[in-house]
Amino acid sequence: MEKKFRIDFDESNVLESVTYTLVSEFNLKPNVLRADIAGDGSGIMLLSIEGDRDDIIRGMTHLREQGFGVKELKGHIFHDYDRCWSCGACTSLCPTRSIYYDPDTMVVKLNTGTCIACGSCINACCVKAIQLEL
């Protein structure tokens, strides 16, 4: 199975060890969709993880025990085209390029097939045209 998680960390030097641990100790296949690191070394990492359900649970429990913030990304994004005025403010925040400007139609569109419901785009929208539905 595949699940997606947001991992919050305090020190950037842990990034490689997280993915290494998930592979070597829990037989998982992590794919880093996005990693943002602040000046003080803290940051977030968006991971897509493939593996057995029990291995995923064990791996995430291990990360929590190590002090990481671990949040599973669930639900789906609703893009309200009636509200959206295609300003583009949300597009640069998307780690998977799922919300994007379509030059042919000159409107911002959402690809629901690749959106991981990370929520990064939501606060960028001043007209609330993007909502997370659980």
Whether the Cβ atoms of residue 122 and residue 133 lie closer than 8 Å to each other? no
- Binding to ligand SF4 (CB under 6 A): which residues in 95-124? 95-96, 98-99, 108, 110, 115-121, 124
Number of residues that bind ligand SF4 (CB under 6 A): 28
Residue (of 74, 53, 62) closest to 24 by Cα position: 62
Which region among 10-18, 49-57, 59-67, 125-133 touches ligand SF4 (by CB under 6 A)? 125-133
Amino acid at 92: S
Beta bridge partners of 100: 109
Q: Which residues bind ligand SF4 (CB under 6 A)?
A: 77, 84-90, 93-96, 98-99, 108, 110, 115-121, 124-125, 127, 129-130
